[in-house]
Structure 1
Amino acid sequence: MLIAALERQIFDFLGYQWAPILANFLHIMAVILGIFGTIQYRSKYLIMYAVWLVLWVGWNAFIICFYLEVGHLSQDRDFIMTFNTSLHRSWWMENGPGCLVTPVLNSKLAPEDHHVITVSGCLLDYQYIEVVSSAAQIFLALFGFVYACYVSKVFLEEEDSFDFIGGFDSYGYQAPQKTSHLQLQPLYTSG
C-alpha cells in the first residue's frame, strides 16, 4: 500500500497537482502510523488508520468523479487540483502510453510561461489512467480497512485477557489476612 501511495505521489508531483500531493502525503503518513501500530501492538493507531482509510476512499471517489466529469465537476477548473497556482495537468496527459505530443507554436491561449499542446494517438486516455489508479487505491484501502479493524480487534482482546505475573487472578494474588498484627522489630541494634 505504501509503494502504491509513493507511486501516485511521484506522478502527482510531475503533474503539479497540489491537492492530490497533499492528500497523498497525509495518506503516506497514515500508512506509516498503521505499520507502526501493527509492529508496536497499538490498536489506537490502527483505529486511526482505519478512520483515515474511510476518508481516503472518499477522496479517491472524488478523483474518479472529477476525471469522469460527473455532475458539475469539470477538469477546466484549475483551482480544484492545483489551488489555482499553476495549470492543472495530469502527467499522464502528455506521457500516456502511445501519446504523441505536438506543441502549438505562437498560441495566444497560454500565458508566457506555459505552452499549448495537442495530444493524439493515446492507447488509453489520461482520464482513464487516473480513474484506474484511484480505483486501485480504493481497493487497497478497503483491504487495509478490513485488516486494520481485524488486527485492532485482536490487539484489544489480548489487552483485555492479559494476566500479568502476580496479577489479580484467582491463582496468583492473595490479599493479606487481617487477623494478626505484626510487631516490627529493628534489624540492627546499636550498642
Structure 2
Amino acid sequence: MGCCSARCMLVLLCCFQLITALERQVFDFLGFQWAPIMINFIHIILVILGIFGAIQYRTRYVILYLLWMLLWLSWNIFVCCLYLDLGGISKESDILSLGVSAHRSWWKENGPGCQSEQLLSTGWQNQNPELTTVLSCWLEYQYIEVLHSIIQLFISLPAFVYACYAVSLFSDEENTFDTIGEFHRPSKSPHFFY
C-alpha cells in the first residue's frame, strides 16, 4: 500500500469532510437551523463510518458512505439553490429552521464586516432575531452559506470517486483472497467421508 493509494486519499478526504462538517455544524447551531443540524449530524456519523470502512477494508461501510454521498451532494446543491433563490425557493422561507423558529443563518447578522442596528433594548434582541437590522456587510450571508456548500461539493466529488475506486479494489482483494484460500486448502480424499 502506497502513501497515495485510493484508500489513503479516501481517508484524507473524509477527514477534510469531517472538519468542514463540524465547522458548519457549529454555525448552524448558532443560527438554530434545525434541518442542517440534523443532516450535518448524520453526515458526520456516516463520514466516520466511511473512514472506518476505508481503514478496515470494510466494503459495506464504504458502500454506505457512497450512498450517503449521493444524498449529501444533492443536499448541498439544494442549499446553494435555496440561498441563491433559484428554482422557485427562497432564502427567506422557514425550510431550514423547519418552521419551528424565526431564526436564520448566523452569518446574516455576524458576517465579516457586518454593521447592525438594534431596534429595541438589549434584553429583547436575544429573543427575536428579526429585531436586528443589518446595515451592511463585506460579504452577504447567502454567499457565505453557498461557499460552505461549494466547499463540501469540492471535497465530496473526489471523495465519491475515490470511494468507488476503493470499493472496486476491496472487491478485487476479497475475490483474490477466496481464490488463494481455496488453492492452499488441503484437499481431503473421498474415503474420509464414508
Q: TM-score, normalised by structure 1?
A: 0.83
For the 8 Å contact 1:81–1:88, the answer to whether it is kept is no
Aligned-pair identity in percent equals 50
Higher helix share: 2
Instruction: Quote the offset at 1:71 in angstroms.
Output: 2.6
- AA partner of residue 132 (structure 2): I
RMSD: 2.5
| Residue in 2 that maps onto 1:155 | 170
Q: Given the alignment of the two structures, is residue 51 of structure 1 paired with residue 67 of structure 2, yes or no? A: yes
- AA partner of residue 4 (structure 1): T
Q: Given the alignment of the two structures, is residue 13 of structure 1 paired with residue 29 of structure 2, yes or no? A: yes
Provide Cα deviations, 1:125-159, integer angstroms capped at 9, x if missing partner. Answer: 00000001001111111121011111111111100
- Alignment partners' CA distance in 2, 1:146 and 1:3: 20
Instruction: Quote the offset at 1:175 in angstroms.
Output: 3.5
Q: Given the alignment of the two structures, is residue 168 of structure 1 paired with residue 182 of structure 2, yes or no? A: yes
| Residue in 2 that maps onto 1:117 | 132
| Residue in 2 that maps onto 1:73 | 89
For the 8 Å contact 2:30–2:106, the answer to whether it is kept is yes
Tell which structure's C-alpha radius of gyration is larger: 1
- AA partner of residue 62 (structure 2): L
For the 8 Å contact 1:101–1:119, the answer to whether it is kept is yes
SS at match of 2:96: helix
SS at match of 2:117: strand
For the 8 Å contact 2:31–2:104, the answer to whether it is kept is yes
For the 8 Å contact 2:105–2:141, the answer to whether it is kept is yes
| Residue in 2 that maps onto 1:4 | 20
- AA partner of residue 176 (structure 1): S
Residues 181 and 145 of structure 1: CA distance in aligned 2, closer, same or farther (over 3 Å): closer
- Alignment partners' CA distance in 2, 1:3 and 1:41: 23
Name segments (4+ residues, structure 1) moved above 6 Å. Answer: none
- Alignment partners' CA distance in 2, 1:142 and 1:68: 21
SS at match of 2:182: coil
Q: Given the alignment of the two structures, is residue 87 of structure 1 paired with residue 102 of structure 2, yes or no? A: yes
| Residue in 2 that maps onto 1:188 | none
SS at match of 1:74: coil
Q: Given the alignment of the two structures, is residue 104 of structure 1 paired with residue 116 of structure 2, yes or no? A: no
Number of residues of Structure 1 aligned to a counterpart in Structure 2: 175
- Alignment partners' CA distance in 2, 1:154 and 1:7: 32
Residues 158 and 114 of structure 1: CA distance in aligned 2, closer, same or farther (over 3 Å): same
Residues 175 and 143 of structure 1: CA distance in aligned 2, closer, same or farther (over 3 Å): same
- Alignment partners' CA distance in 1, 2:153 and 2:24: 13
SS at match of 1:13: helix
Provide Cα deviations, 1:77-128, integer angstroms capped at 9, x if missing partner. Answer: 22x111111113111111111111111238xxx9993151121231110000
- Alignment partners' CA distance in 2, 1:14 and 1:112: 12
